[in-house]
Structure 1
Amino acid sequence: MSNLREKMPVLARHEGDWTGSYTLVNTEGKIIDKHQSHLTCQFPETGDYPYFQINRYHWENGKQEEHQFPGIYQDNKLIFDTERITGKAWEADESTLILWLAYKGVPDAYIYEMIQISPCNNYRARTWQWFKNNQVYQRTLIQEERMQ
């Protein structure tokens, strides 16, 4: 299991806890939603999954959500298949991950995410492009910082 770090070294640089903000905008740039986040990226030494991510979201109105994303390594990609999503991530270059995912309850829709990690490994910039029927209809802009 630990060889996932070797096979996906850019992904390995994301290990740890991240806090930040998510800003969802429509195609005209109008803010639809904004909330805070705390993500944990882990590489468990035991268990069924060589990668495990926990996403926690908090809104100003008190709303909270938590989602877990176990992942396996297959065909040079990190693969996700939960009751909520299906997806895959791969490394594009020495600082970029690309993620394709689809929510199982939303037919004809998918997301492409680009994740950049800084050379110092302490900052991430992420962009989601949301597609329905192959047309972009919104974007999520995410800024994160590693928790110390």
Structure 2
Amino acid sequence: MSNIREEMPVLARHEGEWFGTYTLIDPAAKILDQHEARLSCQFPQEGEYDYYQINRYTWADGRQEEHQFPGFYRGKKLWFDTERIHGHAWEADDATILLWFSYKTIPDFYLYEMIQISPDNHHRTRTWHWFKNHQLFQRTLIQEERQH
């Protein structure tokens, strides 16, 4: 069993169920897409993963997607390596996690995410900055609340 909870205490505060809205915008702030999301952030007690996240997205037209993100802990970072993405997350301060990842099927593409959790652990704000060929081409703005 890893010591992820002790060495990444900000990440540990994210454990549980979250509900929110994702708004995708271009560099001029034009809305490109908007959808709801339910995320489950888990720290399995057994098995090969130190962290496990499930994202469920729902659009107004009824479309749905689900993605799973198992993670490994080492060196005070959370590492992801799935069929779809690879990347890592680390804590920047007592309220902020930074995440870098890229999609394996899209060359010269990556994104940075900043995740900030409130002092009461019930609200969080996330921003994604999407880059292609090292140029920003869109952002995702996310507001979430913990589900009880």
- The SS at the match of 1:6 is helix
- The SS at the match of 1:143 is strand
Matched, 1:59 2:62: no
- The SS at the match of 2:121 is coil
Matched, 1:14 2:1: no
Which residue of structure 1 lines up, in the alignment, with residue 95 of structure 2?
95
What residue identity is the alignment partner of 2:33? D
What residue identity is the alignment partner of 1:107? P
1:3: how far off?
A: 1.6
Q: Distance in 2 between matches of 1:61 and 1:106?
A: 27
Contact 1:55 1:66 in 2 (8 A): yes
Q: Distance in 2 between matches of 1:2 and 1:142?
A: 29
Q: Distance in 2 between matches of 1:2 and 1:81?
A: 18
1:105: how far off?
A: 1.1
Matched, 1:122 2:86: no
Unaligned 5+ segments in structure 2 are none
> Could you report, residue by residue, the CA deviation over 1:11-41 in whole angstroms, capped at 9, with x for unpaired residues?
0000000000000000000000000000000
What residue identity is the alignment partner of 1:49? Y
Question: How many residue pairs get matched?
Answer: 148
Q: Distance in 2 between matches of 1:103 and 1:21?
A: 22
1:2: how far off?
A: 4.9
Q: Distance in 2 between matches of 1:51 and 1:45?
A: 9
Q: What does 1:1-148 correspond to in 2, within 5 Å?
A: 1-148=1-148
- The SS at the match of 1:93 is coil
- The SS at the match of 2:4 is helix
1:75: how far off?
A: 1.9
1:79: how far off?
A: 0.0
User: How large is the Cα RMSD of the aligned pairs?
Assistant: 0.6
Unaligned 5+ segments in structure 1 are none
Q: Distance in 2 between matches of 1:31 and 1:107?
A: 25
Q: Distance in 2 between matches of 1:18 and 1:98?
A: 18
Q: Distance in 2 between matches of 1:116 and 1:47?
A: 28
Q: Distance in 2 between matches of 1:83 and 1:142?
A: 24
> Could you report, residue by residue, the CA deviation over 1:69-113 in whole angstroms, capped at 9, with x for unpaired residues?
000012220000000000100000000000001011111000000
- Runs of 4+, deviation exceeding 6 Å: none
What TM-score does the superposition give when structure 2 sets the normalisation length?
0.99
